[in-house]
Amino acid sequence: MNGHAAEPATAGALVRTRDPLGGGAVARTKAALRHRERQLHQEIAVRIGVSAIVLVCTALFALEREVTSVIRITALIGLVVNLPYVIAARRGRARREQAYIRLLVDVALTTAGLYGAGGLAAAPFIGIYAVAPVFAAIVFSRAACILAVAFATGSYLALAGLQTLGVVPFLAPPAPDAWHVAIFNLLVLNAIGWLAAVAADAHRTSRRRLAALYDELERAHDQSLQLNNQLQLSTRRYVLSEVVAGVTYEVRDALQGAFGHLWLARRGGPPLPPPALEHLARVEQACQDAMRIMSNTLDMARRADPEPEPVAVAEVIRRVAQMKAVEVRRERITLRQDLPDWLPVVLGNAFALQQLLLHVVTNAQDELRGSAGRREISIGARAEAERVVIDVRDTGRGIPAQVLPRVFEPFYTTRPSAAGLGLALAAGIANSLGGTLTAENHREGGALIRLTLPAVMPAGATRPSAASGADGA
């Protein structure tokens, strides 16, 4: 293919690239799910570790049987609850609420373990509460940390108060200064919790800022790559223009000689039959077009663009179809036109529009040359709002997905025998006409090249109420 060849968004060339599955959103969703799974695994690992440490300590230290039983039961419950936690988390419902429930259950189990160790008598061990708030601050949020600290403080004060009032029995006698130790350790717990919440919140904020800086760096890197590609492309175009200018100058001289002999053949010799004169007239017209292309190429750097003039799009399409008629007929390709009865004119250059369409039709013709199926090229035009849309569609294999983003890039081609310049030149002409050229695959198969040009209404013209009909060739 200029195959069907490419430049993403250069010189008025726009390539349609669609992501029907929303790949970016799907990737972000999967990443979020993996992050939550890691958090759950970390939480389970901490819970298992704490429970295992408690069980080992009860085995190593000689405690009263009743105390040991309560602590071991609490630790075993901490291990067993991991199973329903995992099942509930995999259902994916109310994940945040589940996390808060697990946090409160862990604090409650810690309180039960402290009761087994003596309740108020275990005031020196209140520091074990810090595991849940610190973990919540690191993994979840500041609010979760504060909630864990508040719930731990409240639950222990409630337990110690009920023991002091005689509602709950003492499993071990408390020390005389147990309340002082408990209050002091609870204050330390709250201080640790608040510091952990603030530090973790600051850490998360810095991570967000760092992520934003990384994103900005990636965008800057992408922009630098894009600028580098544009610079390389500009360099290649400059070198190409120098080479083309030299070749054009030589070819123009050769064409001038051929054009002179052609003129003599038509007018200077004996009369020729009408069919021969008609063919010679077409050859002469083709030579004139070639001479004009050569002159435009040489003068492009020395003069401004020509003044735009009203162009009848339908007439240009008919002329292109007439110019390609012999070639496509020889290659058994059907060239169809689908033109309405009325089209608004466009401002531009008729010859430039003709060359643009010739490049696109030639590209489609090259694609169909090796096709074993139906060979057809259709050129259609229609008015849309304040635009004229021209579609050139073929019945070939279409444009591969990996080729589509580069379909207008100079020198890019999938055919070894092609130069890869046809669609790139067409895109440049589209830009000079103030339009856009896009490429996509038609839903019924084949490639679709779409040219959109701004339309104008000629002075005194009115748009008909209905425009219908088709012109086929």
Residues 146-183: pLDDT tens digits?
A: 998 999 999 999 999 998 998 988 888 888 898 999 99
Confidence (pTM): 0.42
Q: Residues, the chain, total?
A: 473
Q: For residue 289, what are the contacts with CB-CB under 8 A and spacing of at least 6?
A: 351
Residue pair 318/473 in contact (Cβ under 8 Å)? The answer is yes
**What is the rounded average pLDDT of the residues 327-348?**
88
Spans of all domains in the chain: 27-222, 241-299, 309-456
- Rounded distance, CA 120 to CA 182, Å? 7
Among residues 251, 431, 263, which one has the least CA distance to residue 356?
Answer: 431
DSSP strand pairing (376-384 vs 309-311): unpaired
Instruction: Give the model's pLDDT for residue 47.
Output: 67
Rounded to 5 degrees, φ, ψ at 278 are -65, -45
- Rounded distance, CA 140 to CA 145, Å? 8
* 375 exposure class (CB count in 10 Å sphere: 0-12, 13-18, 19+): buried
Residue pair 101/70 in contact (Cβ under 8 Å)? The answer is no
Q: Give the position of tokens 């988390």.
A: 89
Examine the pLDDT at 111 and tell me if it is beyond 80: yes
Residue pair 136/94 in contact (Cβ under 8 Å)? The answer is no
Handedness of CA 272, 275, 281, 286 (dihedral sign): negative
β partners of residue 387: 384, 454
Instruction: Give the model's pLDDT for residue 11.
Output: 37
- Rounded distance, CA 333 to CA 446, Å? 14
Residue pair 12/436 in contact (Cβ under 8 Å)? The answer is yes
* 167 exposure class (CB count in 10 Å sphere: 0-12, 13-18, 19+): exposed
List the Cα angle 168/192/203 in 5-degree steps.
135
At the fourth CATH level, the homologous superfamily of domain 309-456 is Histidine kinase-like ATPase, C-terminal domain (3.30.565.10)
Q: Which of 203-207, 221-225, 301-305, 411-415 has the lowest mean pLDDT?
A: 301-305
Instruction: Give the model's pLDDT for residue 390.
Output: 94
Among residues 454, 403, 452, which one has the least CA distance to residue 427?
Answer: 452
Handedness of CA 356, 361, 367, 369 (dihedral sign): negative
**What is the rounded average pLDDT of the residues 10-32?**
50
